[in-house]
Amino acid sequence: MSISTGKKPSAGDRHAPPSGVLERGLFLMSLFSMERPRLQLRDLAQLSGLDKATTLRALRTLAKWGYLERTPEGAYSPGPVNLRLASIFKATSNFIARLEAPISAISGRANQTASFFVRSRDDRVCLVRDHAFQDFRYFIEVGGTVKLSEGGAAAQLLLAYTEPEDDDARAAIRQAGHYISRGERNRHFASIAVPLFESDRSFLGAVTITGMAVDLDDEMLLGFKAMIGEEVAAASFTTA
Amino acid sequence: MSISTGKKPSAGDRHAPPSGVLERGLFLMSLFSMERPRLQLRDLAQLSGLDKATTLRALRTLAKWGYLERTPEGAYSPGPVNLRLASIFKATSNFIARLEAPISAISGRANQTASFFVRSRDDRVCLVRDHAFQDFRYFIEVGGTVKLSEGGAAAQLLLAYTEPEDDDARAAIRQAGHYISRGERNRHFASIAVPLFESDRSFLGAVTITGMAVDLDDEMLLGFKAMIGEEVAAASFTTA
DNA sequence: ACAGACATTTTATTAGATGAAACGGAAGAG
DNA sequence: CTCTTCCGTTTCATCTAATAAAATGTCTGT
């Protein structure tokens, strides 16, 4: 009753928990992140706003199927089944595996974080990521999604190449074949995003290099563009 | 009613579908595999034994949260969220990333499939795998689980090192520091499994090399043991 | 021995899951 | 072109199975 009618002004319930057992279970899974890879019942119940007993039942089922596993201390963390599903996912989008080496090489040569994003409805999803030596806590993790409306170099570029309704700004981005952002999503960062095409010229997504704004002037970012082109060409992709 | 009382002797319902919405949803996810990465509503309903409407509702929720995505043709396949959870899983079991290079090297040097398994309750789970040039359809995929009771070199070795109740056979395996199987799970294959320890000597799981029995006599399999030791040592693991 | 923090079980109540049937739309055959 | 078939989707009366508050169990530290 506390969900539909009552109000729980307790700490962590910014959003009301979803209704429906399956949705609640998936919601619980979504509470795990790189920053919080292990959570105990109490935390999950509080974060989700669900009753302890309800949370426990869901966690048990999730653990029974390997989506979660219990640590020796009794906390929960994502389990091995996710690996299985991730490898099936990778197999269905056949180009991800092919992109891993180029992204790694790009990251190494730029000594910055390199990523690959695709559009999924109104979000962008990070599918490949290599961190070089940077502190990665400010970034979206692999598989993570961000609303396109939140901006960023990758978002602008994805919109330019995939949005049905066109305008001058988007045409200009396509004309240039890249987009540079400065502090658009995070004040301290700058990025360049370039489009990635399959060998048959079909658009796949955006390759980006991101780093601290102080380290990267526009000239340097622009210089990365040719290098990205070289590296992805080794895997038969193109950037134009 | 068809689930609890009725009988559906149709094609693919070897097991009755689980009850509980969450469990049913997870069950649906488990129907995807490397061999069947895309399934449509009809297939999923039939394979699971669930009603079409029930299946549809679950699939919609799963897709809404990114666990599944729809192909242009309307079929379902595992979605990008699995990638996110897999990377969190990898981060929590920090040794997986460290093992990937050694497994790859072992596979290359033996020119056979190399894998790493851990025990999870009464199952073994494949966490790392490199295929060399073999046809991989006969093998468990990464993240895949198999009952320990089904045997195989890895299963025997995991039992020897993790089962609380000991017996002579298990003590002998620990004494030898390896286990060789021939046709135990599959008539045509042979494997050697060796234990993997963290640098502090805590047991992690089993490294195996598997190939066609005709190509691998016991002497050859035994010869791999030292090589495995060398390669994992490069990542500060040990095999004894 | 007591208190506090968590995990787990129990149970009466009803929200919400279920599935048979009907509908709709697309593709193919005659 | 109409008829048929095959799927996905919607609807709705029925009742299973999910819910949450409270009680109980299990630690840990004082």
pLDDT at A176: 97
d(CA B113, CA B130) in angstroms, rounded, equals 6
DSSP for B201-233 reads --EEEEEEEEEEGGG--HHHHHHHHHHHHHHHH
Q: Does A13 have pLDDT greater than 50? A: no
pLDDT at A14: 47
Give the mean pLDDT of A198-209.
94
Give the mean pLDDT of A67-92.
91
* CB burial readout A23-35, b (16+ within 10 A) else e: bbbbbbbeebebe
Q: Name residues whose C-beta falls within 8 Å of residue B186's C-beta, 6 or more positions apart in sequence.
A: B138
Query: By the CB < 8 Å criterion, does B20 face chain A?
Result: yes
CA distances from A94 to B68, B137, B239 (A): 16, 17, 35
Q: Does A10 have pLDDT greater than 50? A: no
The CATH 1.10.10.10 portion of chain B extends over: 21-83
Which residues in chain A have Cβ-Cβ distances shorter than 8 Å to B92? 37-38, 77-78
Q: What are the beta bridge partners of residue A193?
A: A179, A208
Maximum Cα–Cα distance across chain A: 59
Q: Does A76 have pLDDT greater than 90? A: yes
d(CA B113, CA B186) in angstroms, rounded, equals 15
Cβ A52 to strand C below 7 Å: yes
Candidates B203, B238, B231, B192; CA nearest to B118 is: B203
Q: Quick one: pLDDT band at residue A35, thresholds 50, 70, 90?
A: confident
pLDDT at B56: 97
d(CA A214, CA B32) in angstroms, rounded, equals 46
Chain B residue with minimum CA distance to A24:
B22
Instruction: Give the relative orientation of helices A21-30 and A41-48 as an angle to the nearest 10 degrees.
Output: 110
Query: Is B190 in contact with B211 (CB distance < 8 Å)?
Result: yes
Cβ B53 to strand C below 7 Å: yes
Instruction: Assign domain B93-233 one CATH number from 3.30.450.40, 2.40.110.10, 3.40.50.10800, 3.30.70.870.
Output: 3.30.450.40
CATH class of B21-83: mainly alpha
pLDDT at B11: 36
Chain B, window 37-56: residues with a beta carbon less than 8 angstroms from a chain A beta carbon: 37-38
Can you read off the two tokens belonging to residue B158? 């995991």
B140 burial (CB, 10 Å; 0-12 / 13-18 / 19+) is buried
Query: Is A103 in contact with A126 (CB distance < 8 Å)?
Result: no
CA distances from B185 to A37, A234, B167 (A): 35, 41, 22
Parallel, antiparallel, or unpaired: how do β-strands A76-78 and A68-70 relate?
antiparallel
DSSP for B51-115 reads -HHHHHHHHHHHHHTTSEEE-TTS-EEE-THHHHHHHHHHHHSTHHHHHHHHHHHHHHHHTSEEE
Ramachandran angles phi, psi of B195, nearest 5°: -75, 150
pLDDT at A15: 61
Q: Does A210 have pLDDT greater than 70? A: yes
For chain B, which residues score pLDDT lower than 70?
A: 1-15, 133-138
Contact residues for strand D with beta carbon within 7 Å: A 1-3, 6, 21, 24, 50-54, 57-58; B 3-4, 19-22, 40-42, 45, 52-53, 56, 74-75
Candidates A28, A29, A77; CA nearest to A54 is: A28
State whether residue B126 is helix, strand or coil. strand
pLDDT at A140: 80
Task: Tell me, rounded to whole angstroms, the distance of Cα B18 from its chain centroid.
Answer: 22
Query: By the CB < 8 Å criterion, does A97 face chain B?
Result: no
CA of A20 to C1' of C16 (A): 8
Q: Does A171 have pLDDT greater than 80? A: yes
d(CA B143, CA B128) in angstroms, rounded, equals 8
Element (H, E) at A22: helix A21-30
Q: Quick one: pLDDT band at residue A11, thresholds 50, 70, 90?
A: very low
pLDDT at B52: 95
pLDDT digits (tens, 9 = 90+) for B86-125: 989 988 887 888 999 999 999 999 999 999 999 887 788 8
The CATH 3.30.450.40 portion of chain B extends over: 93-233
